[in-house]
Amino acid sequence: MSTQSQPRAHSPIEKTVSVTGLIAAVIILLAAGLYSLSGISYTQSFSGLFALDSLHIWWYISRAAGLMGYLLFWLSTVWGFAVSSKILDSFLERTFTYDFHEHLSLLSIGFIVLHVVVLLFDKYEPLSMLEILVPFVSAYRPFWVGIGIIGFYLTILVTITFYIRDRISMQAFRKIHYLSIAAFVGSFAHSLYSGTDSTITWVQLMYWGTFLSTVFFGLQWIFTLLLRRREARITSTGV
Beta-strand runs (E) in the chain: none
Higher pLDDT, residue 114 or 196:
114
- Cα separation, 37 vs 40, in Å, equals 8
User: Does residue 135 contact residue 194 with C-beta atoms inside 8 Å?
Assistant: no
- Cα separation, 211 vs 207, in Å, equals 6
Q: Positive or negative CA dihedral for 91, 92, 97, 100?
A: negative
Q: Give ∠ CA 34-24-146 in degrees, rounded to 5.
A: 65
**Could you read off the pLDDT of 163-195 as tens digits, one per residue?**
888 888 888 888 899 999 999 999 999 999 998
Q: Where are the domains of the chain?
A: 13-37+53-226
- Cα separation, 222 vs 224, in Å, equals 5
pLDDT at 239 over 70: no
**What is the pLDDT averaged over residues 17-33?**
60
Q: How confident is the model at residue 66 (pLDDT cuts 50, 70, 90)?
A: very high
Cα dist. 13→35, 99, 111, 159 in Å?
A: 33, 12, 18, 19
pLDDT at 198 over 50: yes
